[in-house]
Amino acid sequence: MRQFIIDIYYFLLALEPRYKIVIILVIVLLIFAAVMISIVLRERSRKNSIEARERRIKRQVEPIIQEVVFTDLNASDFKDAVKKINRIVDSTLYRRSNMNILNELLIYYHRNLGGEAFERLENLYREIGLKQIALENLRNGEWHIRAKAINDLSTMRMGETLFEILQYTDADNVHVRNEAQYAAVKLGGKKAMSFLNDLESPMSEWQQIRLLDQSRKFEYELIDNIGPWLQSKNDTVVIFALMLMRHLNQYHERNQLRKLLYHRNERVQEKAIETTQELAYSEALENLYEVYELTKNMRVRTRILRAMGELGGAKEAGFLREVLVSSKEHPLVMEAAKSLKRMGRHDVLTSYRENELSEKGENIVKHVLDDRI
């Protein structure tokens, strides 16, 4: 053996440098491959162990959960069920992991059941200690753990945690912030929406849609004072308030709506114009004329023309005709023609003196009047 090693040593020593480099690289790659294989096998074994433990817990716990959910247990039997579940998940090494498995199982049942089963599952969630674990995760976890904890608490309707959740509605992390805002509205309704009064962080369009969808579950009269939100320094809060005003038919802030037509933020202006149109607030037409003259933003001007087509009468038809004749901006000419058609003013669209319309204008009118489009 010793002689064999010596022979190998002298053989390698006699090789050219390029062959030595190749051999060294091969050895390094083999070692790397062996390490990777051992890591993969270890992870696979760990995953299999977790899956086996998850199957065992579900197999043992599900019958108890179903008994609690579908049977009217007395207080003593309910406590016994809680003790049985705690014994199953109790483990020195894997208790937190086991509780996570149990948490997902209860949330799954909660999402797929209703009625009295909701309340029984929620009581079980509290008694087992999952609510307390979620609160600890919320206070001490990383951002993704906090966001998950908030989502779990709102899904399980833990209304008593609302005050704690409200502390995170303006959190630095956007995911935590979004989950906290949605959970607050879900758990606390109108009263919890007071976080909008002091919100400094921007709200994404998707977040606004989520909150709007949850808000639409309220009775209309419950949201009776959106004025502070319409006057917020946070433009995204203003936009959200306009969405509420539009979708919940809130007419009592019409004066503030007219002011927002002149807002410095063009996105707020656009949303205010849309809201004016949707609420059929024709009294704001004079303001729309002013804004049209003041702004140079093409999108704002286009939306004003569209609103005039929905809200206006003979005066607005004349204004739209003037835009059609005199404007050199293609989007404005197109929107003016469409608005006249929506008003049913085909007579205005077809009564022009020779050469009054540009060639492009004539083509736009023909396009708009084509019933096939």
Tens digit of pLDDT for each residue in 121-132? 889 999 999 999
CB 327 within 8 A of CB 319: no
47 or 240, greater pLDDT: 240
* Average pLDDT, integer, range 17-39: 83
What is Dmax (Cα atoms) for the chain? 111
Give the domain extent around 256: 202-289
Q: CA-to-CA distance for 306 and 312, rounded, in angstroms?
A: 10
52 in any annotated domain = no
Domain stop point among 237, 254, 289: 289
Is 273 found in the same domain as 217? yes
**91-98 long-range contacts, CB within 8 A, separation 24+:** 94/53, 96/133, 97/50, 97/53, 98/53, 98/57
Which tens digits make up the pLDDT trace of 112-123? 887 788 888 889
CB 99 within 8 A of CB 130: yes
Tally of CB atoms within 10 A around 229: 24
40 in any annotated domain = no
At residue 250, φ and ψ (nearest 5 deg) are -90, 110
135 in any annotated domain = no
* Average pLDDT, integer, range 289-293: 92
Is 281 found in the same domain as 344? no
337 in any annotated domain = yes
Is 280 found in the same domain as 207? yes
Is 282 found in the same domain as 220? yes
Crossing angle of the two packed helices 17-70 and 75-89, in degrees rounded to 10: 170
163 in any annotated domain = no
Mapped to the 3 state alphabet, what secondary structure does the chain carry?
CHHHHHHHHHHHHHCCHHHHHHHHHHHHHHHHHHHHHHHHHHHHHHHHHHHHHHHHHHHHHHHHHHHHHHCCCCHHHHHHHHHHHHHHHCCCCCHHHHHHHHHHHHHHHHHHCCCHHHHHHHHHHHHHCHHHHHHHHHHHCCHHHHHHHHHHHHHCCCHHHHHHHHCCCCCCCHHHHHHHHHHHHHHHHHHHHHHHHHCCCCCCHHHHHHHHHHHCCCCHHHCCCCHHHHCCCCHHHHHHHHHHHHHCCCCCCHHHHHHHCCCCCHHHHHHHHHHHHHCCCHHHHHHHHHHHHHCCCHHHHHHHHHHHHHHCCHHHHHHHHHHHHHCCCHHHHHHHHHHHHHCCCHHHHHCCCCCCCCHHHHHHHHHHHCCCC
Is 285 found in the same domain as 207? yes
Is 336 found in the same domain as 257? no
Is 219 found in the same domain as 261? yes
Domain stop point among 254, 289, 324: 289
71 in any annotated domain = no
Chain mean pLDDT for the chain: 85
Question: 204: pLDDT confidence band, cut at 50, 70 and 90?
Answer: very high
The number of domains in the chain is 2
* Average pLDDT, integer, range 284-304: 92
Which residue type, as a one-letter code, is found at position 302?
T
| Cut 0.85: pTM above it | no
Please state, for a pLDDT cut of 70, what percent of the chain lies above it.
90
Is 324 found in the same domain as 261? no
Is 210 found in the same domain as 247? yes
227 in any annotated domain = yes
244 in any annotated domain = yes
pLDDT at residue number 110: 87
Asked if pLDDT for residue 203 goes beyond 80, the answer is yes
Which tens digits make up the pLDDT trace of 212-267? 888 877 665 556 678 889 999 999 999 999 998 888 777 788 889 999 999 999 99
251 or 134, greater pLDDT: 134
Asked if pLDDT for residue 138 goes beyond 90, the answer is yes
